[in-house]
Structure 1
Amino acid sequence: MKSRHLSKFVWAFIIFCTWVGGFLGIYINGKVTGDYQYDLAIPIIVGTVLALIISLFFSHRRKKRNGKVPEIDERTVKIMQRYLMIVLYVVLFGSGTALIILYSMGVQFIETGMLIICLLALYMIIGLGAFVAKRL
């Protein structure tokens, strides 16, 4: 498959998954509250399309400015591999240690909302670290 067709397929898949996730959120929220707010579909669709346009604009601008210079090289790939391997073990052992400490303190149940917040914080820290590692 050519790179151009693959790129279009990837963008279509990302947009589809974003829309499915948004509508699934509307459905779950409506199932809990009993009120399905379909007017939230407009911001989901408009936000996704707007994000696509902004991303394509910056991609086109970078390509116009830098020409055919690749965005990453072998050194960047090696740094990212090393960073992600370290993060894998830190998150694995850190989460295990946190659970052992909580269990030893007598905590028997963990609220799902707190788990979501912890995972969100982990994703944000890992993403910021990957961004910094890519820029090194």
Structure 2
Amino acid sequence: MGMAFCIGLSQEAKIVAEILTVNGFEVNSVICKNCSIPKEEINIKENEKVHPNTYEPMCNPIGQAFFLNKAKTDLNIILGLCVGHDSLFIKYSEAPVTVLAVKDRVLGHNPLAAIYLSKGYYRNKLFPEI
């Protein structure tokens, strides 16, 4: 089994890998920042970085897929990849892919919370008066 995960969900990925391993699965996991490619390689400027004046590698979802392809996984799990990065991972993964969790920092990685609250708390935000 393969797991492609976001660095922001490293602790969650560790727990998921432990659960799967204890239950008899062999787990190959790969973090989003694999290969440590600097953002400067694609001309991202210091003021455009999340943390300016620090070394910031970019995410590499295609590299994650290639890593798990090389491991010949039978099923890959996505854990918190960014929107767009998840699509690239799915495109390049040779094994079937399922999503365990999506990245959503605002709603604690639970984007359905906005739907559940759409008629209450989020009503004015989701259905503004025209």
- TM-score, structure 2 as length reference: 0.25
- When you count helix as a share of all residues, which structure comes out higher? 1
Larger Rg computed on CA atoms: 1
> Going by fraction, where is strand more abundant, 1 or 2?
2
